[in-house]
Amino acid sequence: MTFSTREIQKRSISPIFWLLFGAGGMLSALFGPALILITGILAPTGTGLPENFLSYDAALAFARNPLGKLVLLALIALFFWHGAERVFLTLKDMKAGSSLVLKLGTYGVAALVSVATILLLLAIGF
């Protein structure tokens, strides 16, 4: 008897989306709770943080700092790619639409937001 071998299948491009999903998942698993607590609960209620924490000047300074830009891009883009992959796979499980429609509605949105974030960060200046 000879061993039948599978025809070598075309390489999937899923690794790109999967790595973006993984990076966003890890980033949000390590820092997500802290970030939501700080920007969404502590800062708006003034708990443990000074009044000027949410001031326009402070936010602008952060977004103009190259490191701050990198942090914002990583958080926004990777969080969207993470959600996009999970929502795409779940909607696929639910058979909620054709693959193309689902991809546009998930990966497409993540790509759009990523590009928009880069443009906004550039427009804000250094």
Partner 1 sequence: MNERRPYRRPMPGNWWAKPPYRAYTARELSGVAVAAYGGVLFAGLLSLSRGPESWAGFVDFLKSPASLLLHVLLLAAVIFHVITWFQTLPKTMPKMIVNGEAVPPKKITRIATIFAGAMSLALVFFVLGAAQ
Partner 2 sequence: MSEPVNAESAVLQKTFELRILRYTPGRDEEPAFGSFQVTGAEGMTVLEALQTIKDTLDGTLSYRWSCRMAVCGSCGMMINGTPRLACSTLLRDLPPGPVTVEPLQNFPIERDLVISVDAFVKKIESVYPYLIPKEQKTVAEGPHLQTPAQMAAYESFSDCINCMLCYAACPQFGENPDFIGPGAMAMLQRYNGDSRDGGRQKRLDTIHGEDGVWSCTAVGICSEVCPKQVDPANAVNQNKTNSAFDFFLRFLRTEQPQ
Using CB under 8 A, list all residues that contact partner 2: 3-6, 8-12, 14-16, 18-19, 89, 93
The residue type found at 106 is T
* Residue 125: alpha-carbon gap to chain centroid: 22
108 interacts with partner 1 by CB under 8 A: no
User: Which does residue 24 touch among partner 2, partner 1, none (CB within 5 to 8 A, set by kind)?
Assistant: partner 1
Q: Please report whether residue 15 would count as binding partner 1 according to CB under 8 A.
A: no
What residue type is assigned to position 10 of the chain?
K
Residues 126 and 65: their CA atoms lie apart, in Å, by: 6
Can you read off the two tokens belonging to residue 59?
A: 């936010």
Alpha-carbon gap, residue 84 to 33, rounded angstroms: 20
Task: Work out whether 41 is an interface residue with partner 1 (CB under 8 A).
Answer: yes
Q: Which of 87, 103, 105, 111 binds partner 1 (CB under 8 A)?
A: 87
3 binds, among partner 2, partner 1, none (CB under 5 to 8 A by kind): partner 2
